[in-house]
Amino acid sequence: MTVRVVAPASTANLGPGFDAAAAALELWNEVVVEEGTSGVEIEGEGVDELPRDATHLTLRAFALFAPVDGYRFSFVNRIPLERGLGSSAAAIAMGLVAGAAVTGRVALPGELLTLGVPIEGHADNLAAALYGGVCIAMKRNGTIHASRIAGDMPVAAILAVPAARTSTVASRNGLPHKVTHADAAHNAASAAMLGAAIAGGNATLLRDAFDDRLHEQYRIADAPLLQALRTHAPDGTVGVTLSGSGPSVVVWAENDRVADVALELKDSLPDDTMVLPLRVAQEGARTA
């Protein structure tokens, strides 16, 4: 048996949707799983650093369905590591879908999400990687709840991806344990407006919703692009958000200004910073 699975990148938080909101992006990792001699082959991102044993995230997720012994995993990785683009979530999503496929199990994204969250740690990126589109996820009373609220954003995503990396764990440890009531209330309003703007396809409302007070202000020291692009945002920019824990930044542009905004970013940013206009992925991880 041979199974090929693909999974998309994702950008989480979308400003005020901290640990809850994420959008899948048209940048795909893939794995081919074949019965036979055990092993792991990696091409592309992480070729010299990702594990080639059972500790690999894809194999850990696959093992929830079937033993990894007796299968060869061949990866093509396109999602940069530790840049806030959901590479870990994509790896887990591929393992879940591949594991279900080789065992003939029909598993819906919600079931896979519940299985995968203990490996991933947070549901936002993984929900987007499994459902596609734009998702909201939360955990309540020990149960994961997630919903795909839209197939697209009312604005276009242009990723600015620096060469530097950020550790999600280190970035999260830099967040305060307490915030003011004013900041919490402001974020609740911004997050509600964010969801309404996305679900309603309202770019004007979204412009006002991109205002976070829970995490971005504490991460900005390790994400210099965020401050730089907010200070000097190209014309046609609707909002600028940190992608996950960074250091990548999303410049959200008016749909008819994407080419102009992307060109200005390429001209103004350092040569080692990639500028990637990426559409929202309509589908999540799947066999292909």
pLDDT digits (tens, 9 = 90+) for 69-104: 999 999 999 999 999 999 999 999 999 999 999 999
Contacts of 199 (CB under 8 A, 6+ apart): 149, 150
On average, the pLDDT of the chain sits at 95
* pLDDT tens string 22-77: 999 999 999 999 999 899 999 999 999 999 999 999 999 999 999 999 999 999 99
Q: Does residue 166 carry a pLDDT above 90? A: no
Q: Are 6 and 284 in contact (CB under 8 A)?
A: no
CA–CA separation, 249 vs 278, rounded Å?
12
Is residue 98 within 8 Å of 68, Cβ to Cβ? Answer: no
Spatial CB neighbours of 149, under 8 Å, sequence gap ≥ 6 = 133, 134, 135, 136, 195, 198, 199
Say yes or no to pLDDT of 170 above 90. Answer: no
* Across 255-276, average pLDDT: 96
Structure tokens at 178: 């307490």
Q: Note if the bond before 247 is cis, omega within 30 degrees.
A: yes
Q: 147: which DSSP letter?
A: E
Q: Cα dist. 254→83, 259, 282 in Å?
A: 24, 10, 19
Structure tokens at 90: 């994509």
User: How far is 3 from 34, CA to CA, in rounded Å?
Assistant: 7
Report the alpha-carbon distance of residue 241 to residue 13 in Å, rounded.
8
Q: Using the predicted structure, report yes or no on whether residue 162 has a pLDDT greater than 70.
A: yes
Residue 182, pLDDT above cutoff 70: yes
Q: Please, what's the largest Cα pairwise distance for the chain?
A: 58
Supply the pLDDT for residue 142.
87
Q: Which domains does the chain have, with CATH numbers?
A: 2-151+282-287 (3.30.230.10), 156-278 (3.30.70.890)
In this structure, is the dihedral angle defined by the CA atoms of residues 242, 243, 249 and 253, taken in order, positive or negative?
negative
Decide if pLDDT at 123 tops 70: yes
Give CA–CA dist 235/127, Å, rounded. Answer: 32
Residue with tokens 């998309």: 8
What local confidence, expressed as pLDDT, does residue 55 receive?
97
Query: 3-state SS of the chain: helix, strand, coil percent to 5?
Result: 35, 25, 35
- Give the whole-angstrom CA distance, residue 110 versus residue 148: 10
Angle at 214 between CA 213 and CA 216, to 5 degrees: 75
- pLDDT, residue 221, reads 81
Which tokens in the block code for residue 261? Answer: 């905004």
Helix (H) or strand (E) holding 224: helix 224-231
Answer whether residue 272 shows pLDDT above 80. Answer: yes
In angstroms, the CA 99 to CA 63 distance is 7
Is the predicted pLDDT of residue 169 greater than 80, yes or no? no
pLDDT at 133 over 80: yes
Residue 280 or residue 121, greater confidence: 280
Mean pLDDT (whole number) for 267-283: 96
Instruction: Indicate the burial class of 228 (C-beta count within 10 angstroms; 0-12, 13-18, 19 or more).
Output: middle
Residue 232, phi then psi, degrees to nearest 5: -130, 60
- Comparing 27-36, 115-124, 149-158, 159-168, which segment has the lowest mean pLDDT? 159-168
CA atoms of 48 and 160, how far apart (whole Å): 24
- At residue 171 the predicted structure's pLDDT band, cuts being 50, 70 and 90, is low
Question: Tens digit of pLDDT for each residue in 214-241?
Answer: 999 888 887 889 999 999 999 999 999 9
